[in-house]
């Protein structure tokens, strides 16, 4: 047994930094990326690490991998590849929050089993955001389960996480160094699927945990009254509440077929038909997303309308149509992720000046729906298609975000707000998938360092013109990058000053005389879980695997199982947003540190319980 180690002044500084970081995280005194920057400054100034070590996180394998994989994920999303997965999940899950959460979490866990968990989470993050917005499910109720399962999914195979990738190499080095104590017993490496029973059990347990306790452990999202309002506060102040929300109506069988302009929906009800869904196409429905005045409304049609509740109820009553409680057939078309409302002003050089919308075939030409016209300090909702336009006139328009991006390139209209979404390039999907496959082949097949393999895939995305280099830069969440780059030096300081070894030996001596294999493995599990919270999981693995194997050998336990436990427990990092995946989802989910503490505390103990149970019954750990 390693003798006790005395605490040094450098250790005290490191422990002080750890306490300081924890306080900053818990009380949110500064933004999380600022915490990372502070560590990059304070640690070298205190003298516990060198200046080069303090900034080494910026060039670390983990940080470069994150930057590259976010770019790859953005390229896959931009070409619509991730939409394929999203549509399948939406089809299977319907609108059930529980099913959406379970399916997304299971899918990400599976992807994480053969690539780095940060890669799996980053690849699926845009698709998850799109699904949640489309189905009106709060993303804060989905991202923590998804992120936790991405971390856990890395334990399904030996290539899913960095600690498990390092496992056999660290064991082999220890085995060779301790050959005299082991006798002639040969070293036996773990296979690719040796850890699979533990990983699958953990994924199932995590999903059940969130299914059963989601109301208690996931952050509560307050629903605002105007959550479904199409207009922001500024636009609503200008255009009033006449155009408040999108609705779906079903045309009853006894309705007499008429042209859209014959119904006079806009002048009578101050409502705009923005979509007509007709039965009878090959896939069951055909949609007209920018209806013209000559389009036919007939029985069996489903109509998408922008109006307010009072007007749409009167319209449904007068026409004999059925007002549906929520969007169904038109959910994808009218989803805020795909379409929305924005304001545009007629420019002095516009071809529209002096003409009416009807004269220039506005809907057909631009593929967007005009909702209202602001002219001479007056909002016009009727006959806007027959009003002559002048420079400075403002339109309220509804359409697909992609159409607005195309329209923005012309000189006819000037948009007053940032346009969401982006132009999709499905024709580049093959190149995007090829770039991902190239990165995986380099990393898994040719054993190229992960950061270089992923960076190759990211650069290939740009060279094949899946995305421009400016789009690649904009896709990276630099807050996450600097948070992780600043925490890596803290892990280096823990290892260099001996603070990690001080804690490990202290715990071992505390339980000396009471150590049975089961007790020892419990200590190793909790010790590794603690270290992986405050240091990198790789740092915890490198430090604790030799120490755990030493302790196991001293009490007659299997050193291989002790090493395996360290490699698996190094992924038990849920209480703080210090893991790369937790940091990645923090901003998109709008999470605070307390949200991780609430959800992660129970998950941490469940994780250890499941791992110990599976190892006891399937891996031969004796009591």
Strands 302-307 and 258-259: unpaired
What number is the average pLDDT over the span 232-244?
A: 80
pLDDT for residue 226: 42
pLDDT of residue 411: 80
CB atoms within 10 A of CB 619: 17
Query: In whole numbers, what is the pLDDT of the chain averaged over residues?
Result: 83
Q: How far apart are CA 220 and CA 21, in angstroms?
A: 26
Residue 201's pLDDT is: 96
If phi over 0 gives left and psi between -120 and 50 gives alpha, with beta otherwise, what is residue 136?
left
Helix axes 593-618, 559-569, angle to 10 degrees: 160
- Residue 221 confidence (pLDDT) above 70: no
pLDDT digits (tens, 9 = 90+) for 415-428: 988 887 666 788 89
The pLDDT assigned to 509 comes to 74
* Residue of 416, 423, 370, 417 whose CA lies nearest to 401: 423
Asked if residues 193 and 199 have their Cβ atoms less than 8 Å apart, the reply is: no
Higher pLDDT, 411 or 362: 362
Helix axes 499-510, 517-534, angle to 10 degrees: 150
State the CATH class of domain 233-334: alpha beta
Which of 22-36, 48-62, 138-152, 185-199 shows the lowest mean pLDDT across its residues? Answer: 22-36
Q: By three-state DSSP, how is residue 366 classified?
A: helix
- Checking if the pLDDT of 283 tops 60, the result is no
3-state secondary structure of 510: helix
Residue 225 is predicted with a pLDDT of 41
pLDDT at 507: 67
Residue 241 pLDDT class (50, 70, 90 cuts)? confident
CB under 8 Å to 328, separation ≥6 — which residues? 248, 302
Query: Is the pLDDT score of 227 beyond 50?
Result: no
**Backbone phi, psi, residue 455, to 5°:** -65, -35
Give the mean pLDDT of 513-520: 80
Name beta bridge partners: 250.
302, 322
Residue 518, token pair as written in the block: 């089961």
Q: Which two tokens stand for residue 461?
A: 């995305």
- pLDDT category at 606 given cuts 50, 70, 90 is very high
Per-residue pLDDT tens digits for 63-91: 787 788 778 878 887 887 766 776 777 67
Q: State which of 112-121, 464-473, 574-583 shows the largest mean pLDDT.
A: 464-473
For the ranges 46-55, 192-201, 361-370, 581-590, the lowest mean pLDDT is seen at 581-590
Question: Where is pLDDT greater, at 2 or 258?
Answer: 258
For residues 123-135, give the mean pLDDT: 75
pLDDT in tens, 153-169: 989 987 677 788 778 87
Distances (CA, A) of 109 to 120, 124, 155, 398, 479: 8, 11, 9, 38, 25
pLDDT score recorded for residue 18? 80
Model pLDDT, residue 582: 87
Tell me: pLDDT of 189 over 90.
Answer: no
Residue 281 scores a pLDDT above 60: no
CATH superfamily of 339-415: Regulator of K+ conductance, C-terminal domain (3.30.70.1450)
List, by residue range, all CATH 3.30.70.1450 domains of the chain: 233-334, 339-415
pLDDT of residue 119: 66
- Count other Cβ atoms within 10 Å, centred on residue 411: 10
pLDDT band at 233 (very low <50, low <70, confident <90, very high): confident
Q: Report the percent of the chain where pLDDT is more than 70.
A: 91
Q: Is the pLDDT of residue 371 over 50?
A: yes
Span 472-515, pLDDT tens digits? 998 887 877 887 788 778 777 877 887 767 776 776 677 766 77
Taking 50 as the threshold, does the pLDDT of residue 282 lie above it? no
What does the alpha-carbon distance between residue 53 and residue 40 come to, in Å, rounded to a whole number? 9
Q: What is the mean pLDDT of residues 224-240?
A: 68
Q: What is the mean pLDDT of residues 559-587?
A: 88
Q: What mean pLDDT is predicted for residues 429-445?
A: 87
Cα torsion 272, 274, 279, 282 to 10°: value is 170
pLDDT of residue 220: 67
Q: What are phi and psi of 573, to 5 degrees?
A: -135, 85
Q: For 15-70, write each residue's pLDDT tens digit.
A: 898 888 878 876 778 887 888 899 999 999 999 999 998 998 888 776 787 788 77
């Amino acid at each position: 047994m390693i003798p006790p180690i005395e605490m040094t002044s450098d250790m005290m500084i490191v422990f002080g930094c750890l306490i300081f970081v924890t306080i900053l995280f818990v009380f949110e005194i500064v933004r999380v990326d600022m915490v990372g920057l502070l560590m990059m400054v304070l640690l070298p100034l205190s003298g516990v690490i060198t200046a080069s070590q303090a900034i080494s996180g910026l060039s670390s394998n983990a940080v470069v991998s994150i930057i590259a994989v976010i770019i790859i994920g953005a390229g896959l999303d931009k070409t619509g590849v991730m939409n394929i997965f999203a549509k399948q999940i939406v089809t299977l899950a319907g609108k059930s929050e529980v099913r959406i959460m379970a399916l997304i979490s299971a899918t990400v866990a599976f992807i994480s089993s053969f690539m780095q968990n940060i890669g799996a989470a980053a690849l699926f993050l845009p698709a998850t955001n799109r699904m949640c917005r489309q189905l009106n499910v709060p993303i804060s109720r989905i991202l923590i389960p998804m992120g936790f399962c991405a971390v856990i999914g890395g334990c399904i195979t030996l290539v899913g996480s960095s600690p498990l990738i390092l496992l056999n190499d660290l064991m082999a080095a220890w085995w060779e160094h301790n050959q005299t104590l082991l006798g002639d017993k040969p070293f036996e490496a773990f296979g690719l699927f040796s850890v699979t029973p533990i990983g699958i059990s953990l994924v199932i347990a995590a999903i059940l945990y969130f299914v059963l306790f989601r109301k208690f452990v996931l952050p509560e999202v307050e629903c605002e009254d105007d959550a479904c309002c199409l207009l922001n506060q500024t636009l609503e102040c200008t255009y009033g509440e006449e155009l408040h929300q999108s609705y779906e109506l079903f045309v009853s069988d006894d309705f007499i077929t008429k042209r859209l302009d014959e119904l006079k929906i806009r002048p009578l009800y101050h409502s705009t038909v923005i979509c007509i869904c007709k039965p009878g196409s090959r896939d069951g429905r055909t949609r007209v997303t920018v209806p013209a005045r000559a389009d036919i409304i007939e029985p069996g049609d489903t109509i998408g309308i922008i109006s307010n509740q009072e007007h749409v109820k009167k319209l449904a009553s007068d026409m004999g149509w059925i007002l549906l409680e929520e969007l169904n057939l038109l959910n994808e078309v009218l989803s805020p992720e795909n379409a929305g409302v924005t304001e545009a002003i007629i420019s002095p050089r516009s071809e529209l000046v002096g003409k009416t919308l009807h004269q220039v075939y506005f809907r057909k030409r631009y593929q967007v729906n005009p909702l209202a016209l602001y002219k001479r300090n007056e909002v016009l909702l009727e006959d806007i298609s027959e009003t002559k336009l002048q420079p400075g006139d403002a339109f309220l328009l509804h359409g697909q975000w992609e159409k607005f991006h195309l329209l923005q390139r012309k000189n006819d209209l000037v948009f007053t707000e940032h346009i969401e979404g982006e132009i999709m390039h499905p024709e580049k999907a093959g190149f995007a998938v090829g770039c991902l496959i190239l990165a995986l082949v380099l990393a898994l097949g040719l054993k190229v360092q992960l950061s270089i393999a992923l960076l190759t895939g990211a650069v290939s995305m740009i060279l094949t013109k899946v995305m421009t280099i400016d789009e690649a830069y904009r896709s990276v969440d630099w807050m996450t990058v600097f948070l992780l780059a600043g925490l890596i030096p803290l892990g280096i300081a823990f290892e260099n000053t001996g603070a990690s070894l001080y804690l490990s030996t202290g715990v071992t001596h505390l339980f000396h005389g009471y150590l049975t294999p089961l007790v020892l493995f419990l200590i190793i599990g909790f010790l590794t879980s603690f270290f992986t919270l405050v240091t990198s999981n790789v740092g915890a693995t490198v430090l604790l695997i030799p120490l755990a194997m030493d302790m196991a050998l001293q009490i007659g336990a299997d050193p291989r199982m002790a090493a395996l436990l360290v490699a698996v427990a190094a992924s038990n990092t849920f209480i703080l947003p210090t893991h790369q995946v937790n940091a990645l989802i923090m901003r998109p989910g709008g999470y605070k540190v307390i949200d991780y503490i609430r959800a992660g505390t129970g998950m941490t103990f469940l994780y250890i319980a499941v791992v110990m149970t599976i190892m006891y019954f399937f891996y031969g750990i004796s009591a």
